[in-house]
Chain A
Amino acid sequence: MFLKNKSAIVVLVMSMILLISGCSSDASTTPAQNAESHLDKIIKSKKIRVATYADSPGWSVLNANGEYEGYDPDIARLLAESLGAEVEFVTTDGVNRIPLLESDKVDVAIAVFTPTNERAKSIDFTIPYSAAGLVPMYPKNKPIKSWDDLKGKKVSVSKGSTGDIALSKYYPEAQIVRFDATSDAFMALKTGKVDVFVEEDGIILDLLKKNPEFESLPGQPFKSSYIAMGVKKGDQEWLNYLNQFIRNLNYSGEGAELYKKWFGVDAPKLLTY
């Protein structure tokens, strides 16, 4: 009996040593040197693996037929078409987008991805293909007047989303309740678990259409930011191709048309390069 516990303690100590020795190793990440570019791989295999949401209304949802539909999947399909490949969608959420890319389980994440400086240290981002800002959603019979009203209120967000990041930073007095899935964060509002639900404006616009008992603050969304595609760090060739694709998508007006189709309003102005 005692021996058995001893071996358990040895394993524990060994794993501790492993952890501590890891602490002293340096912080640089070295990209794989002579690895084949994703671009060549996709053209060769005629298959592109795209991470996208299954529960972001407007942007991307898995419909009743088991197909992905929305703005992001449409762009993914255009991208696949340009490469002569078939799309293979992989469902993602705010938590596992970066791990999916880093472990090379997907070629690109087209998933309402805001290229924050923090995230850009772990993965590479393309130039933006869209933009979004945060808006709050709350019941009509228990309204808030402004963002400052969030103080002391229970606010649901999707874990790791821009809503989570912004609230943690600018409204730490709000009681933030984090869910793994966007759909659960909305369900928490719907079932009265929280007072407010904060997400990207496109998602909320779509949810408001289907749920008239809720409303949102008028005016400009909070902390507008770009939306870009994410790829694994270190594959410049693949990044170049995606940037090229997005430039064409933006300039041709195709992207704006898709935006209008899914969100019913004009695409946000993307700027100036």
Chain B
Amino acid sequence: MNLVFHDIIPYIPQLLSGLAVSLYVTVICMLAGTVLGLFVALCKSSKNVILRFLGNAYIELIRNTPLLVQLYILFFGLGQLGIDISPLWSALIGITINNGAYTAEIFRAGLSSVPKGLHEAGSALGMNKAQIFRHVILAPAFRTAFPALTNQLILLFLFSSVASIISLEELTYQIMNVETQTSRTLEITLIAAVLYYGCSSIFVYLSNAMAKKVFKW
């Protein structure tokens, strides 16, 4: 085996800028997707038929189509209709919408894991509806959902590489770019694996640390 890394060294800034874009997209889409997911999960478990239908339809539509196709529709499809969205915005919008469907299901599971007795305990303490939701339902639901959300965060980070296909200059895009310029296929893909692995590990570490701090009860 002879691996040659020295001619990749000049491209390191390029790789780091790609990594920065990947991390940026991941963090934004995770935050936005989590808010969207919580909202959709509430729609889905609401008593209003229309809201429930909309929540369901959204989840089914997004979960049953590939992210690649969703990004193509946003970037090229809407482009054909004269709606011009930049690669970065296409990725942010597309991945957030995609992520929202998955986090919605995660939250739904979390919400339904809260026993009914807690509702009643809340109202027995004289809390109003909003207080019950905030303090009695959401907190334990979030704790239950948290490991699955961490998992989703890592999947999201890895899936964001799909956006290279619409020319977003993230890590995989830069990796492939360096590959075509140096022809060091094995070396550059090894570096890619290490970068993705390293960042995912840091995500897991941070998420565990946060869980310890936040869910103390």
Q: Using a CB–CB distance below 8 Å, which chain A residues touch chain B?
A: 1, 5, 8-9, 11-12, 15-16, 18-19, 22-23, 25-30, 94-95, 98-99, 102-103, 118-119, 121-123, 156, 159-160, 164, 177-180, 184, 187-188, 190-193
Contact = CB atoms under 8 A, between A and B. Distances in A.
B205 interface: yes
Contacts of A164: 180
Contacts, number: 99
Interface string B41-85: 000000000000000000000000000000000011001101010
Instruction: Please give me the 8 A-B residue pairs with the lowest Cβ-Cβ distance, nearest first.
Output: A160-B180, A191-B79, A22-B3, A122-B183, A23-B5, A99-B185, A8-B201, A191-B80
21 contacts: A5-B204, A12-B197, A12-B198, A16-B194, A19-B3, A22-B3, A22-B5, A25-B4, A30-B2, A98-B185, A102-B183, A156-B167, A159-B176, A159-B180, A160-B180, A178-B177, A179-B167, A184-B167, A191-B76, A191-B80, A193-B75
Interface in B171-217: 173, 176-177, 179-181, 183, 185, 187, 190-191, 193-194, 197-198, 201, 204-205, 208, 212
Nearest to B7: A27
Contact of B5 (A19, A122, A180): A19
Nearest to A5: B205
Contact of B208 (A5, A15, A16, A26): A5
Contacts of B5: 19, 22-23
B80 A190 contact: yes
B8 to A, nearest CB: 9
A39 B195 CA distance: 40
B6 interface: yes
A21 to B, nearest CB: 8
A121 B205 CA distance: 42
B164 interface: yes
B201 A9 contact: yes
B118 interface: no
A130 to B, nearest CB: 22
Contacts of A11: 197
Contact of B84 (A15, A98, A193): A193
B148 interface: no
Contacts of A9: 201
Given A191-B76, A191-B80, A25 B2 contact: yes
B165 interface: yes
Nearest to B164: A180
Nearest to A177: B167
Contacts of B204: 5, 8
Nearest to A179: B167
Contacts of B164: 180
A184 B79 CA distance: 12
B79 A193 contact: yes
A8 B208 CA distance: 13
A8 B167 CA distance: 32
A5 B167 CA distance: 34
Contacts of B4: 22-23, 25, 27
Contacts of B194: 12, 15-16, 19
A121 to B, nearest CB: 7
Contact of B187 (A22, A118, A184, A190): A22
